[in-house]
Structure 1
Amino acid sequence: MNYYDPNETAELFPEATWHRPAACDTNSGNCVEVAFGRDGRVGIRDSKLPGSPVLVFDREEWVSFTGAVQRGQFAF
């Protein structure tokens, strides 16, 4: 696992396209956005604040997390 300071990670995704879920309400902006970096890192940010801190995951962490979500391992 790598450590990234969320306040200094936006520059890791300078040309990234940020994606929102299809269920996201485009008017409220209360969504999580995901970007896939060229180096395999995945960034997560708040759609209401495009300049907000970015949480960064490496490919292995992202695959593990999304797999756990799909298996229902979290009680949301």
Structure 2
Amino acid sequence: MQDNRSGWFKSTYSAQNGDCLEARHRTDGAVDLRDSKIHGGPVLTLSADRWSVFATAVKDGALAAR
């Protein structure tokens, strides 16, 4: 993962075409997500429990485009 000063990071597995999500961990255990191309855009915040469910679904391929 690549860290920056604002705490936002994206996985080194992200595509190099710029179509990526960035994330940052919050002190309350939640995770913020945003589009890497729109730094000032909307942020989706997931609780620690919801982040775990989301990350597992991504790893398992449950959210792959069909």
Task: Settle same-fold status: TM greater than 0.5.
Answer: yes
Higher-strand-fraction structure: 2
Residue segments in structure 1 that go unaligned for 5+ positions in a row: 1-14
Off by >3 Å, runs of 4+ in structure 1? none
| Aligned positions, number | 60
Which structure has the larger Rg over C-alpha atoms? 1
Higher-helix-fraction structure: 1
What residue number does 1:17 align with?
Answer: 7
Name which structure has the greater RCO, CA cutoff 8 Å, separation 6+: 1
TM-score by length of 2: 0.75
CA RMSD of the aligned region, Å? 1.8
Identity of aligned residues (%): 35
CA distance in 2, matches of 1:17, 1:50: 12
CA distance in 1, matches of 2:20, 2:45: 17
